[in-house]
Amino acid sequence: MKLLLTNIKELLQVRDNAPSKVSGLEMKHLPTIKNAWLLFEDDIITDFGNMDNPGELSEDNTLDCTGKIVLPAWCDSHTHLVYAGNREQEFVDRINGLSYREIAEKGGGILNSAKKLQNTTEDDLYKQSAKRLEEVIQLGTGAIEIKSGYGLTTEAEMKMLRVVKRLSDNYPIAIKTTFLGAHAIPSEYENNKDGYLDLICDEMLPKIATEGLADYIDIFCEEGYFSVADTNRLLQEGKKYDLVPKIHVNQFNALGGVAAGVTNNALSVDHLEVVTDEDISALQDSQTMPVALPSCSYFLGIPYTPGRQLIDAGLPLALATDYNPGSAPSGNMNFVVATACIKMNLSPEEAINAATINGAYAMGLSDTHGSITKGKVANLIITKEIPSYGYLPYAFGSDLIDTVIINGKPI
């Protein structure tokens, strides 16, 4: 089936030969066509242009987009969308003065979510997660990465990954899967972190890899969690199973994990609320994408990733939600884009590049997603009537989406 969008006020992120990512000064440039049309056949973008030059176009199936802006659907490269229950009590505890770390030390935090998940059936976990996935699709997300890491036993980690696979089979958006067994040290291994890493390396990884349940491998490299040496060990082990690293690093402390990620050819290094000059040097001339998660900074009241500094140093930057029950209970990429502008001083052009083409790169999807390019998947956001694309981050609390199109079909 063909569908033609006409009279588009402005078509954003139009690229004839789309680069795999944009970096530094390139991020300030968002190529657009004003007064545009866009044609797609089934799930693939086939053509676009200016309304003054519609050529031979006559298509029965048209959608008039007068006053509306069209852009590629968001590419959310970092989420923990599969989880059981919620942690609003910890949220209240934080309001009353406890820190995120104190809550974790009392058995809350990731271990609290792991306990809940271990006691939840696979079907129930699927239902809870599917509801969240449906919500984020409505909010304009067209490709997403989902991590394990709230299981922390072989069976529970595999349960999470099987749920992700089921979501991927049943929903039209692209889903990439990351194995994050090294998210926290389970209480049974409290004084035996190496024993838990042995379990991950000797039991979890081989099983997960044999069943083809993960694309990427992740670890939380942080004080009180896993060290740089643990990170090196795990990423090298993952490489044996062709799992590419995407790591949690520099959320609270800069331990040297960014350089370890780069050395191990990480596709992305995520969080980066704390960044040193050494981290920036390690990222320069690498193929590793830095990923900022502003909703986590917002929710926990911790520093924002110095995205301005990273881009000004010539680096690329991607934006993602980190959707999870502890540090970012929101999968709203519209809020992420707005917050990146408001709190990280990104321009709307930079934020939109970071949430589309660079997000696609951080999931290995830039050949198919993240820009309006002939041959790419027709995953689109059609906005309501708005004055300009700068209005998207400006009116940060408003619902500005009219229609989301996934694989060429309005949702």
Q: List interacting residues with ligand NIG (CB under 6 A).
A: 109-110, 113, 220, 248, 251, 296, 322, 324-327
Handedness of CA 15, 17, 22, 28 (dihedral sign): negative
Q: Which residues pair with 403 in a beta bridge?
A: 382
Enumerate residues 270-329 that contact Fe ion by CB under 5 A.
Answer: 322
| 364 binding partner (options ligand NIG, Fe ion, none; Cβ < 5 to 8 Å by kind) | none
C-alpha to C-alpha distance for 47 and 45, rounded to whole angstroms: 6
| 286 binding partner (options ligand NIG, Fe ion, none; Cβ < 5 to 8 Å by kind) | none
Largest separation between any pair of C-alpha atoms in the chain:
71
Least gap, CB of 257 to Fe ion (angstroms): 14
| 217 binding partner (options ligand NIG, Fe ion, none; Cβ < 5 to 8 Å by kind) | none
Q: Which residues pair with 270 in a beta bridge?
A: 248, 291
To which H or E segment does residue 232 belong?
helix 228-239
Least gap, CB of 282 to ligand NIG (angstroms): 20
Three-class SS state of 148: coil
C-alpha to C-alpha distance for 195 and 189, rounded to whole angstroms: 7
Residue that has been written with the tokens 């809550």 in this structure: 103
Closest C-alpha to 80, from 246, 253, 260: 246
Q: Which is nearer to ligand NIG, 159 or 376 (CB)?
A: 159
Q: Which is nearer to ligand NIG, 248 or 376 (CB)?
A: 248
Least gap, CB of 55 to ligand NIG (angstroms): 48
| 327 binding partner (options ligand NIG, Fe ion, none; Cβ < 5 to 8 Å by kind) | ligand NIG
Closest C-alpha to 265, from 337, 318, 217, 303: 217
| 110 binding partner (options ligand NIG, Fe ion, none; Cβ < 5 to 8 Å by kind) | ligand NIG
- List Cα–Cα distances, 20 to 361, 369, 378, in angstroms: 6, 10, 17
Least gap, CB of 111 to ligand NIG (angstroms): 9
Q: Which is nearer to ligand NIG, 129 or 324 (CB)?
A: 324
Q: Which is nearer to ligand NIG, 178 or 264 (CB)?
A: 178
Q: Which residues bind Fe ion (CB under 5 A)?
A: 322
